[in-house]
Structure 1
Amino acid sequence: MKLTNPLLLLAIGAAVGMLGWLAAVLTTRYSLNTPVLPLTGLVTMGVIVVLTLVLGIRVLRWRNGKKKTMLNPILAAWTLVLAQACAYTGTVLLGWHAGIFIDQLRLWNLRSDQGISWQALAMAGGGLAMVVVGLAVERFCRIPPEDSDADTAPGPQEKRKPQAEGEYAYRGH
């Protein structure tokens, strides 16, 4: 599996942000409710972030040699997939709610209650936390290069394949 590309996440976030802004403009124009997730969604986001971080720390401790037992390769693969899903989901939530917040800023002085604005900002913050934890845990799942690779340096005629993608913890030895 390839590492998640931060530029791809940025592009997805910007595109979804534009959609969120457009949805907020249209709902305001037609006097509908603003499409913001309720604040109880932060609890769910928090559970996902904590679970991802706990599983990622388990993989990191195993990778750094702090555990004596073998790591279940399926658990490591699930941790990697969960981390990537967390990053992508956080990107979508961040983009959507940031777009809504930007739309709400133009109405800031006209409204006496800025609850929707603060709600959108809180949800965008939760999305940012998901992105950061997802990307960090994804890095935890990478296996460092073998020490034996340094001992067998390629000769002048040999060429080594660069390991730009790296290996993940679930691809055992």
Structure 2
Amino acid sequence: MRPHSGIRVTTLVLAGLAMTVVAWLVLRWMASGGSPVPDPGWIGAVAMLVLGAGLVLAGWRVRRVRDGRPDPAVTPLRAARTLVLGQAGALTGAVLVGWYAANALVLLPDGDVDSQRSRIWLFALHAVVALLLAVAGMVVQAWCRLRPRDDEDQPQA
């Protein structure tokens, strides 16, 4: 039996693309009705950075235990929760990349206006920070993966 491989990069790409398409359609519909594209707040970017840093810190502790260094605070349950949080962070980051990219794409036709250009760059910055959150989640998932034991490599008779 093959163990579960976790969240794949293709899953993240598909989730991000799906969110980009859906959000672009909804934002274009809202803009046609006169509603402006919402401004991204700096709090969102800071929150994603803090979440990513917390994930990496928790994953680093699990990785150290996996590699043989004792840490009584890291229990199997805590390691499993860290894995799930890493996967959730990866999916959340991918979906947020799609959201911020869709916002930037809606504003792109007005990119020659200085005020809109600055908003496009702000959405692009948020998309990069969301991508960092997704990468942090994937790294944590890899760190939480158990390595095969020597006796598992040999076929059973």
With the shorter chain as reference, the TM-score category is 0.7 to 0.9
- Residue 76 (structure 1) aligned with residue 76 (structure 2): no
Instruction: Please give the secondary structure, in 2, of the residue aligned with 1:106.
Output: helix
Q: How many residue pairs align between the two structures?
A: 153
Once the two structures are superposed, residues 97-155 of structure 1 have per-residue CA deviations (whole angstroms, 9 ceiling, x without a partner) of 1122122222101x2312321221121111101110001100100110112334xx337
Q: Structure 2: which amino acid aligns with 1:112? A: D
What's 1:103 paired with? 106
Q: Which has the higher helix share?
A: 2
* Unmatched tracts of structure 2, length 5 or more: none
Q: Which amino acid aligns with 1:154?
A: P
Unaligned 5+ runs, structure 1: 159-173
Query: Residues of 2 paired with 1:70 and 1:124: CA distance?
Result: 34
For residues 2-61 of structure 1, give each alpha carbon's deviation from its aligned partner in whole angstroms, at most 9, with x where no partner exists.
410221211111110012222332233223121353121111111110110000000111
* Pair 1:112-2:128 in alignment: no
1:140 aligns with 2:157: no
1:154 corresponds to: 155
Choose 85-94 or 58-67, whichever is displaced more.
58-67
Q: In structure 2, how many angstroms separate the alpha carbons of the residues matched to 1:125 and 1:40?
A: 15
Runs of 4 or more, structure 1, over 4 Å off, are none
Give the equivalent residue in structure 2 for 1:61.
Answer: 64
Alignment RMSD: 1.9
Please give the TM-score of this superposition, normalised by the length of structure 2. Answer: 0.87
Q: Within 2, Cα distance between the matches of 1:19 and 1:35?
A: 16
Percent of matched pairs sharing the same residue:
29
Please say which structure displays the higher CA radius of gyration.
Answer: 1
